[in-house]
Structure 1
Amino acid sequence: MGKWDGRSDARRQSVRAYLHRWAETTGAQLLVVDPEPDEGALAEAMAGHGVHVTWVGSTLDGLVEFGRTDPHAVLVTPAAPGIPADEFVGLIRRHGTPYVIAGAEDLNDLGAASSAALGSVGSLMLAGASAVVLRPYAAQNLWEVMSHGPRSVSEHARVEVGPIELDATAFTVRVNGERISDLPLKEFELLRALMLSSPGLVSDDDLGDALWGTHDRRPGGNSIAMHVTRLRSRLGDVAVVRRIRGRGYSLSVDGA
């Protein structure tokens, strides 16, 4: 039983690592400006939705990361130190069109301080925030709120190429609406990387990043070619995975 649990734990860790790599490189971006760190749990949960979380503790750091990440949404709490949170919201709204979410404590738990807290959240709304979420932040609530923003986030969880639909949230693949047998993790990663660039070419290095991350973690030999061969057999005539010698692979389907 212990040996089986060890394999299960290793697989879960591999899945989590993949989700984080995927969300960081191709996912939607969420900037959280909050002095109370909770980024680990939230980042892991949001990665399952295809959202990469950047968490900073002050509005000054928030300005830096806003320019660096160009986030789909910004979650800011009135208690964030630095420049006042409402000024921060006004500044980022003038330099782009981010979907701003105000982070608030549950007013029922604040007692006499609830009026002041409500006023602080109200100032963020006046400055340009469009929604409010309560702490501690729940990934599903944030995902639903972000889904109403001006920049689509749903495409980061699902990819479609012709009749193939891949859902990285549920780790499922459907062909012509019918779910196929679950792919092993590496083949799932490979298929997603190819679908994201279809019908373009994905280099061997980029595929290595998608499957194993850093160079020192990559196996030797023809590991990519082995996974491609297995993927081809699973897809059958649905898609063509081509090898361009010395460059990489591409996936194409008729009509896509």
Structure 2
Amino acid sequence: MGARTYLHRWAETAGAQLLVVDPGRDEAGLTDGMAGRGVHVTWVSSTVDGLVEFGRLDPHTVVVSPDAPGLPAADFVTAIRRHGSPYVVAALEHDNAADVGVLMLAGASAVVARPYSTDHLWELLSHSPRSLREHAHVVVGPIELDAASYRVLIDGERIADLPLKEFELLRALLLRAPGVVTDDELREALWGSDGLRPSGNTIAMHVTRLRHRLGGTADVRRIRGRGYSLTVEPSTGQ
């Protein structure tokens, strides 16, 4: 599979969840753009489907259009706010400003213009009470991983781009560090829930390559019967 497919699977497995309730189409490529930032977008066309997906996903953020059919959008916002604490964003077009005001009264916290801009929405959500940046930008000791720009820095210096599997592996380990990521969690993060499930030897091969690329910066340990953990070496001053 290509890098685009891997990014979507990676975001769905380990990233933040963004639910968009909008009868329109994702013509601006919001789904692709947010996947590159570690955010998985679930797009539904009605508030009824939105309630189903809200219960399934427990999303970080919900974007809702006043034009969405089904349950009135204001009632939908009231319902999800009653059963959780998502960051609710009202979608605005020039002809529905009054309806957006109703959504704000129902519990929406911000407004985003349609058609959606990935950069605009990302900036908005990054300054929300529950920032999304932690899903794309991870720092552990001297290691800094930025999914939005697909880069890894060690002590502020960018290293050669990692192959995608090793990039995904490093991100999974950093997000849990110094805790253990199980073999099953790594299989899910690197290969998804469908298709061929690789053996432990395949995972070990990628871990060996990642260790080599990190040099002495971090220790990636095998915890027998459990999985792997990443810790920063004492020589880095951590």
TM-score by length of 1: 0.83
Measured on the aligned residues, the alpha-carbon RMSD in Å equals: 2.1
Indicate how the Cα distance of structure 1 residues 235 and 89 shifts in structure 2: closer, same or farther if over 3 A, else same: same
Question: Which has the higher Rg, Structure 1 or Structure 2?
Answer: 1
After alignment, is 208-217 or 143-152 more displaced? 208-217
**Which of 222, 227, 233 is the equivalent residue of 2:201?**
222
- Unaligned residue ranges in structure 2 (runs of 5+): none
**Corresponding position: 1:55 with 2:34:** no
**Corresponding position: 1:176 with 2:166:** no
Alignment of 1:197-212 (within 5 A): 197-212=176-191
**Which of 89, 95, 101 is the equivalent residue of 2:89?**
101
C-alpha contact (below 8 Å) 2:13/2:188 kept by paired residues:
no
> Residue 29 of structure 1 corresponds to which residue in structure 2?
17
> Residue 3 of structure 1 corresponds to which residue in structure 2?
none
1:149 aligned counterpart, secondary structure: coil
Q: Considering fraction of residues, name the structure with more helix.
A: 1
Query: Taking every aligned residue pair, what percent have the same amino acid on both sides?
Result: 67
C-alpha contact (below 8 Å) 1:73/1:149 kept by paired residues:
no
| Cα distance per residue 1:31-57 (max 9 Å; x no partner) | 111112328932121111111111111
Indicate how the Cα distance of structure 1 residues 180 and 242 shifts in structure 2: closer, same or farther if over 3 A, else same: same
Tell me the distance in 1 between the aligned counterparts of 2:203 and 2:67.
Answer: 48
Question: In the alignment, residue 105 of structure 2 is paired with which amino acid?
Answer: L
C-alpha contact (below 8 Å) 1:33/1:57 kept by paired residues:
yes
> Residue 132 of structure 2 corresponds to which residue in structure 1?
153
Tell me the distance in 2 between the aligned counterparts of 1:173 and 1:126.
Answer: 43
How many angstroms does 1:118 deviate by?
A: 2.0
**Which of 192, 212, 215 is the equivalent residue of 1:236?**
215
Aligned residue pairs total 235
How many angstroms does 1:215 deviate by?
A: 6.0
Question: In the alignment, residue 30 of structure 2 is paired with which amino acid?
Answer: L
After alignment, is 80-89 or 206-215 more displaced? 206-215
1:155 aligned counterpart, secondary structure: helix
